[in-house]
Amino acid sequence: MSRSVRIVGIANGRGAGDEGCQRGPDFLRARGLTAHLVGAGVPAQWHATLRASRSLPPLEAIRQLSTLQSQQVSRLLRASQFPLVLGGDHSCGIGTWSGAARALRPRGALGLVWIDAHMDAHVPSTSPTGNLHGMPLACLLGHGDAGLSALAGAPALRPEHLCLVGIRSYEEGEAALLGRLGVRVIHADEVHRRGLPAALDEAVSIATRGTAGFGMSIDLDALDPADAPGVGTPVPGGLRARDLLDAVSGLAGDPRLQALEIAEYNPLHDCGGRTATLAMQVAAAALAPGAAAREQRAA
């Protein structure tokens, strides 16, 4: 990868019911993520770790954190550096993609591929839990909490530039919002039927049609719990690890890819560090041509 990769950890679990994912960035750093990427040929450095306030209520803490995160991501992109954002719970998506949208806006719109078991498109009135990690896409599309949905100065995403992949657990209210907006959702059963490479090709085509570039957000609970147990909200029937590694490896070196986000790693539920290893492999596969094949040969 020609651009320098700057890793931004978002050590926050206040948007989730299980806050163990706040430990994810520190755990991945201690496990050697930066060295792993450098060894794969990625010019990576750890840039910053941002933490949510413990003294504020969750919504105010995440507003504050998302504002700082958005500024960090925007500055990195304007300096021609590549942000690799590590959650933390998936409310981190609000800050990541609001910042990316601001940075890209002089050149055009932002596209986004969202790989997840869940739709993450609730607004407060439809959420059964009130947890903000179930609301980032609604905020990015301009719905929900006004303080979060306005971070990009305007909606960060247009519906026609967003595609969800791997969905298999959702509620009626969020599905209705995405359906009303016309967002393309590729459910897990369709992925299993067509194959992940074909589904991801379609998603990237949507995210790059009429945009200045695109981002990819990967919630590790998109993967089957047999491969990735270290998440807070596991859902059976997910994507398989080898398929994801193969599919994202096709993006390595794509100049249209502007940023990568990996969220919801929860070391408290991991078994022998399997999910941490997989998160590191996914990052390398998406950023370093040939990394996925090399790691699979070494396994």
Q: Give the residue numbers annotated as catalytic, written as ranges.
A: 90, 116, 118, 120, 133, 219, 221, 264
Residue 128, amino acid: P
**Cα–Cα distance measured from residue 55 to residue 60, given in angstroms and rounded to the nearest whole number:** 10
Locate 281 and state its tokens.
Answer: 């492999």
Question: Listing from the earlier edge strand, what are the strands of the sheet with 110-115?
Answer: 44-51, 5-11, 82-87, 257-263, 213-219, 110-115, 162-167, 184-187
Could you give the count of Cα atoms lying within 13 Å of 259 in the half-sphere of its Cβ?
Answer: 36
For residue 169, what is the DSSP state? Answer: B
**Cα–Cα distance measured from residue 207 to residue 213, given in angstroms and rounded to the nearest whole number:** 8
Could you give the count of Cα atoms lying within 13 Å of 53 in the half-sphere of its Cβ?
Answer: 14
Nearest C-alpha neighbor of 132 from the set 225, 216, 56, 72? 56
**Cα–Cα distance measured from residue 49 to residue 59, given in angstroms and rounded to the nearest whole number:** 20
